[in-house]
A and B are shown apart, each in its own frame.
Chain A
């Protein structure tokens, strides 16, 4: 077995330093935490090192550079299946199968690089760096964070370490280990404002909910281990090993993967383990951006994507389609549900949170469909089928990429808005202590018409929203269309998939609505109140990452043209190998807008119609509006605002009936799911545990105490026989004499 396999090919000298991608942030964690503990409040620490922010920054930069080097090496043709450096034999142990010998087993740590890895690696390290930059601008300028930012940076870098480690790990075990470390950091960061009860309970909720998923993941891993005798990718993805397992226990494998998928559901906040994500917005905005939009929630997707080799294995042909359906269906449900809840949210970050859930659900649906295709099509031999599978898988990964970039940006932008609204509020009310009375800087009620005041932010938000909505040619459009198309393709094969397919189509329209609503309510129209009118521009630390990400999002058309969907999904397609960029773009556009298959041709336009016209249209009708007089948005935003104003004027309708409907109430209450969970926790779990604790003292310890008190009362009884009267003693002697004599005589 994989055990202690030793390195094979080392491509470049520096590749041996790949573990530093993980280790550097991990060490930075200790350094920042320690220095912060010691030098807290010191001016140099505060001003020059930004309470650790400027220690984290170079470290994250180094991680990014090392990652890029690794990625470039991979793109040069490094196949990545081999380990880069000598594996650490982390745990050596043995098992006994009932025979006359024991088998030795080893769990090692190594690094595994393939196409999925490099994609996630880039996303993680790139976003981590940007968010680090953003954090310096965001965290260090808020007095509420004074003297505790070192905690933020320490936990932040540890989180990055966990994320990068999870991506780079060469086995499911280490994936799980880093996965849990991320969970810890998420917990700590959500609870950053520990003194707020809501933050404390949100942190607990996040950890616990994901923990429940993790439990299933762990069991799934254990089952998987038992099937393959290892958790190393190299072993479990080995065709021969899969064949062996497929022969005897394909059903068990499906169970194992299914349980692992539950872990992904928890981490990626899918129904029914989605409840933690909206609450997690209690953390500082960079945290929301990083963890709960851009990276950590992708871990679940990464895990599912990692399972692809099983679905694609010839030996398991047709064995795993049920699981593929479940993955797609969970995605479908969550996509619609989250989008619906997002309709009624007033909190800027919460809208984004639900949007995140919804978009992740898209990716799950996409992955589910891709896996169904891989599992049912004969794609190893049929090149058409091969193409279909690869594009389906690639589209999901591409959406992951696009969504990560766009959502990271959106959160940062929203953070910037909140930051400035907050400042404006302070400024306005000359509040010098940071008690926020009732003012909620995150509520869209307190915004409106900010497009002119924060042009870069507004632009970023606009581009990001467009990407999420899937407006043609921008960012997520490419991937989203792919997902929808594949869902329907599968639905043609297997009617079960009509459900997720309908969901994603519906979701497209809903996304269009709530994203537009968010943007319009924040940036268009007139300021909703005095505070919004006094918002000013942001600082450079905040602007820079927004700037960069705007361009990345816009440039996803280039990535699409470069065949991202192909090489991200399969090593057979190498980067830039197929066509030149222009050809690629033309090809993709042709594929998207002029599909030769009439079904998909129509589907594309239906999707575009729903996502780009119906959704935004309704939103504009409800929330569109001109900026306040004298305020001017940048030229590229003006058409949007004007359009919205026009639509609003022309098509405005009264939605009070909806807002007062029970459905809206239900949506505002998150469909009561949290409530049920809380009730279940309180009544069943807490109640049961109290009963058990009582039983422990009353019954188990009660037995002990009863024995004790019983023997005490027995003692009292026995001692009461010693009456004090010598007559009784003599009587006892006489009785004893009789008994002894009888016993001796009788026995003899």
Chain B
């Protein structure tokens, strides 16, 4: 057996969590309390198994696969099993250097999240749901079939919905529904786009893996390959007009997921209400689904449309970047601020994409990865803050450095990482985005004023993070009382599992900040491959920029 994806990475966590949940839901309250610990241990072990597999894949232990040098639209561990033959649906999985870092990230965050939220209430159901979340997320990243991709895309909503609804804050009812409906709305439009794309295939000369009933296929590698073919008139198979429509429809789904301004308002609500574990996975991996999807589908399939919408993407990216940052500055809720900072960081990804530069894309990919490590830490800090001080207001607790040095240090570290301190993971992506953006602007003769936004954001980001730290970590000497929300209880520091999780996240933030090439080299390779395999052949001939 060399299919290391289907059962080990996707099937196993999903099945395990369903079995655990089914088992738990047949027990009574007290039994469930007793089961919490064994189940927690079990899910931790399961998630560590997943991490072992993906890490083993990185070190070429499983499958002896190199993540560099995979030419565009080729995949490692590629396996297809017929699923719904009549419609051309296959269970087809595979990874390339685009998806592998995301899969690793998911498997990495899963145990970390479990550790960070070690004492979450109703553990017997909580931990299996986390596991299911992980399985669904991995499913999104390894899917190489449009149908399968969409199924997992939506499947991720369900565990997250329950995480928010069952373990969330006071307003969780509203937030969980908003999260679900908002992202679902966008993705059904995307679904229509996918289906329309599906029918822009030639049933007379069906592609490989075509369904018996429809004569078309959902297979992504095949479609991607097909989209690049020239027809008898020398036009691209997918004409520029239809590319634009499909691009826009697909992008809507991804932009909402990312999220980009003005489709972002579900995010702060979801984050503020979500439990720590939910936030960590939501910010860490789920947002990246949007960026991943952009690369996997619209960009790989509709290069013409990408070129056409370049300016629009740039504008949306810039607006997200700037708007998110400025809104952060006006927040009084710690978690909301962090949530908006995610919006801002996702803007970096969009701007990176809009540069149409390998460097910009590599920056976007690395930002996905780096933000995937940093933002869970941000939310772990927020969660710990909430958990220990029963409040989320900036300023509710001052002088944290004195009362809770561990939490203060973690917060300081996470904040600094997020504001793009060099030698921490986020910086590399930011500087690369800057260079790529400038290079693009200079080469195309676009106005320099495009730089004002990102430049402003650098300063504003520092401002809101520092300002919030001033009002939480600093100040408040002996005369300052602990927050009233503690009701006179002694001020606690974070618990040991939380410390461990923070240390792990901090360690990897540093590792990928100091040695970005570990992940960046394969991402860079992917961007070069897509440029040489797709962008240059398609756009290179008549590049006139925008």
Q: Do chains A and B touch in the complex (CB under 8 A)?
A: yes
> Residues of A at under 8 Å CB distance from B?
37, 89-102, 104-105, 173, 176-178, 180-181, 184, 187-188, 191, 194-197, 199-201, 203-204, 207-208, 211-212, 214-216, 218-219, 222-223, 225-226, 685-686, 688-694, 696-697, 700-701, 703-704
Chain B residues closer than 8 Å to A97, beta-carbon distance: 443
B442 touches A226 (CB 8 A): yes
- Interchain CA distance A386-B191 in the complex, whole Å: 71
B463 touches A685 (CB 8 A): yes
Contact of A696 among B327, B363, B422 (CB under 8 A): B327
B434 touches A218 (CB 8 A): yes
Query: Which residues from 447 to 480 on chain B have a C-beta closer than 8 Å to any C-beta of chain A?
Result: 451, 455-456, 458-460, 462-463, 466-467, 469-470, 473-478, 480
Chain B residues closer than 8 Å to A196, beta-carbon distance: 475, 477
B416 touches A184 (CB 8 A): yes
- Interchain CA distance A203-B474 in the complex, whole Å: 10
A692 touches B330 (CB 8 A): yes
B359 touches A226 (CB 8 A): no
Among B326, B356, B362, B412, find the residue whose CB has the most chain A CB atoms closer than 10 A.
B326
In this assembly, does B38 line the interface, its C-beta being within 8 Å of a C-beta of chain A? no
Contact of A94 among B264, B359, B467 (CB under 8 A): B359
- Interchain CA distance A689-B416 in the complex, whole Å: 21
Segment of B129-137, B193-201, B202-210, B538-546 engaged in the interface with chain A: B538-546
Chain A residues closer than 8 Å to B109, beta-carbon distance: none
Chain A residues closer than 8 Å to B470, beta-carbon distance: 200-201, 203-204
B466 touches A689 (CB 8 A): no
CB distance from B445 to the nearest CB of A (A): 12
Chain A residues closer than 8 Å to B475, beta-carbon distance: 194-197, 200
- Interchain CA distance A525-B338 in the complex, whole Å: 57
B524 touches A94 (CB 8 A): yes
In this assembly, does B402 line the interface, its C-beta being within 8 Å of a C-beta of chain A? yes
B247-278 toward A: CB 8 Å interface, digit per residue (1/0)? 00000000000000110111000000000000
B265 touches A701 (CB 8 A): yes
A92 touches B520 (CB 8 A): yes
Chain B residues closer than 8 Å to A98, beta-carbon distance: 443, 540, 543, 545
In this assembly, does B511 line the interface, its C-beta being within 8 Å of a C-beta of chain A? no
In this assembly, does B49 line the interface, its C-beta being within 8 Å of a C-beta of chain A? no
Chain A residues closer than 8 Å to B535, beta-carbon distance: 96
B330 touches A180 (CB 8 A): no
B305-346 toward A: CB 8 Å interface, digit per residue (1/0)? 000000000000000000100111111000000000000000
In this assembly, does B427 line the interface, its C-beta being within 8 Å of a C-beta of chain A? yes
In this assembly, does B432 line the interface, its C-beta being within 8 Å of a C-beta of chain A? yes
Contact of B327 among A95, A216, A222, A693 (CB under 8 A): A693
> Residues of B at under 8 Å CB distance from A?
178, 182, 261-262, 264-266, 323, 326-331, 356-359, 362-363, 399, 401-402, 405, 412, 416, 421-423, 427-428, 431-432, 434-439, 442-443, 451, 455-456, 458-460, 462-463, 466-467, 469-470, 473-478, 480, 516-517, 520-521, 524, 527-528, 531-532, 535-536, 540-541, 543, 545
Q: Mostly helix, strand, loop or mixed at chain B's interface?
A: helix
A208 touches B421 (CB 8 A): no
- Interchain CA distance A102-B528 in the complex, whole Å: 7
- Interchain CA distance A37-B408 in the complex, whole Å: 13
Given the known inter-chain contacts A91-B432, A93-B524, please indicate yes or no for A226 contacting B476, CB distance below 8 A.
Answer: no
Contact of B521 among A92, A102, A197, A214 (CB under 8 A): A92
Contact of B536 among A102, A104, A180, A200 (CB under 8 A): A102
A95 touches B329 (CB 8 A): no
Chain B residues closer than 8 Å to A225, beta-carbon distance: 435, 438-439
Chain A residues closer than 8 Å to B428, beta-carbon distance: 91
Chain B residues closer than 8 Å to A692, beta-carbon distance: 323, 326-327, 329-330
B423 touches A181 (CB 8 A): yes
A693 touches B330 (CB 8 A): yes
List 7 other contacts, CB 8 Å, given A93-B362, A180-B421, A194-B474: A102-B528, A104-B528, A195-B476, A208-B462, A219-B434, A219-B438, A689-B329
Given the known inter-chain contacts A696-B265, A700-B262, A704-B182, please indicate yes or no for A96 contacting B435, CB distance below 8 A.
Answer: no
B459 touches A191 (CB 8 A): no
Chain A residues closer than 8 Å to B531, beta-carbon distance: 94, 96, 102
Chain A residues closer than 8 Å to B401, beta-carbon distance: 194-195
Chain B residues closer than 8 Å to A96, beta-carbon distance: 356-358, 531, 535-536
A690 touches B330 (CB 8 A): yes
Given the known inter-chain contacts A99-B540, A686-B329, please indicate yes or no for A91 contacting B517, CB distance below 8 A.
Answer: yes
CB distance from A159 to the nearest CB of B (A): 14
CB distance from A105 to the nearest CB of B (A): 7
A195 touches B399 (CB 8 A): yes
B451 touches A181 (CB 8 A): no
Chain B residues closer than 8 Å to A215, beta-carbon distance: 455-456, 458-459
- Interchain CA distance A656-B294 in the complex, whole Å: 71
- Interchain CA distance A94-B412 in the complex, whole Å: 33
A689 touches B326 (CB 8 A): yes
